[in-house]
Structure 1
């Protein structure tokens, strides 16, 4: 029931964030990232209640491999690791005019954690020399993540904060796999050894997890990160009493927690890249041309008329002679069939645009995408927007500031020739919005 309420609250939060993100930027996507982590346990605290002998926590336990002795004296070999495997999935969006990103999502992982306590003195039990006690806890942790990524070209760094809830399932001890519950046990023979009891056991523990990492690959790639798991409550408490020659020599209390430093490897996979909310943007697309045309038509006569004339006499590129708010078709732009990936044969034309914009630093442009009237209209609309976004990304990578470039996709709504198919309909136009 607790897990169901927790899952419902995450869904509500994600829905609200998605609504905000759609108004915040048009470049957004879903990502799923399988992950594997290897960790080191931060040792629990040990408090001596009476006597002088107390166990010592082993620092930074990441794994254990060796023999464990059962209470009946039999021995078997075990291999435990402090690790996890699971996945993250999150909704990600870019800031306007920047490559930086925000993301919010959920994470789930199966996690194992090794604890080791060194005895204050070694002792013999049924022919075996015992020097330490080992536990291995197994639990499922789920929760909500919020991430901020700073990108530069094809790599970046990110900071992430997560709130998790770990549900304990079982623990491995010398007695094998056991249900997690309060119990009493120990190893005492000939008046020497120890007795221990566990209490204040939690079925689940909330955790706060800050994380920093690096990302290689703009959309899909590899991530490496370091996370610190900080539990808000102890997992359980144990009380150990040590005896020598039937004399009590120490009683200690141990708070076992889920404090861990975890090194994670993630493989993010982008499920949908730069897809836009069609219905929302359709509503926005109608008024935009009207808002641009009505005021700008009034402004065209006074300022623009003297400015283009001198440029016409010294035209060095096809773009110098284009009047304000008029469009020009960018020739020689080629994309993969039914995709938005630019072909190398397009770079020469786009490099000319870059050279022209660098020579005219005050110029701002709008890229408008158009398709032929073939197939589904909604898909054509998405394709036109994806293609002008791809052109915009190329110009930005070449050094043009993002604020100088806006984009607009019209799909198959503005045909220049009929019937379809007609090659002239498949075009990208450039409109100069400011000189």
Structure 2
């Protein structure tokens, strides 16, 4: 009997899932429910062969959505008999440094940490609860997106803010995209033929959310996202770095309260604010059509990445590879080239032919013999969750 892991990624308004064969890494089934709690939603259930199974309808909440996922397996297959269920949990605070078996104490802790990730931790718990009911006796494993980043040294995670804020309210940098960074850094080392504990990397996870992480000898030593995912690079709808005095200024001149400013920076900032869309593909098309705001958005986006690459190069002292991952990082050759332009004297160059080639998979886009390899490593967070879950139950 094949060992299969069901991986659940319960997001703020969606549920993504994959059934993964532990031995072959094959995906007998995968799918997504979109627009949970927001009008008519759509469940798309993909099998290894044949057309997808689809179901439209209103999914009032995540519990109803997860029940629909289980029904899709029952209707379209395959048989769902996992040896474990792996759950992506966004925020583990400073407590969870690795994957853990879920019990009531763990669930309570995830709930307690919800103020740090209010859109995610509560629904992550909903996913765990429904899976517990559906698979009694099957181990439930929580894999935290912040865990890989908890190797940050104190000088990296400490904000220069009042002691009471730090000690009483837990104000510090946490960082995110840890599951992706764990997978990508290990694969990058293997691509280079090196042990992960021998290499220094700068990982650029560029998707709708975006982050830069400095990895020294297999451990994160700095990362661009902070206490929340808002800090750092320009993203699809998040502003990234802004002056911390901005909320106070807008309160004085525009009468905006802190919550509305936070909402705008997180949901209406980034590429969306600059170009009118958070989709990089649309921004590039508009820029190509002559839209000046879209051109500016691209310049701001790539300049911010380049600034972090330079800072992390200085921090690490030696960089073996710069690694692009995430939807934009993996598929947008122009972003890769623009983000690293002008870094030739640091040994960072991109080969135009390799970078622009229409191909997928792991690859180098730097010239042969480059002092710093530039790699594209497609991330596989679902496999990383499954791998950690399997290691834990074994």
> TM-score by structure 1 length?
0.18
> TM-score by structure 2 length?
0.19
Q: Which protein has the bigger helix share?
A: 2
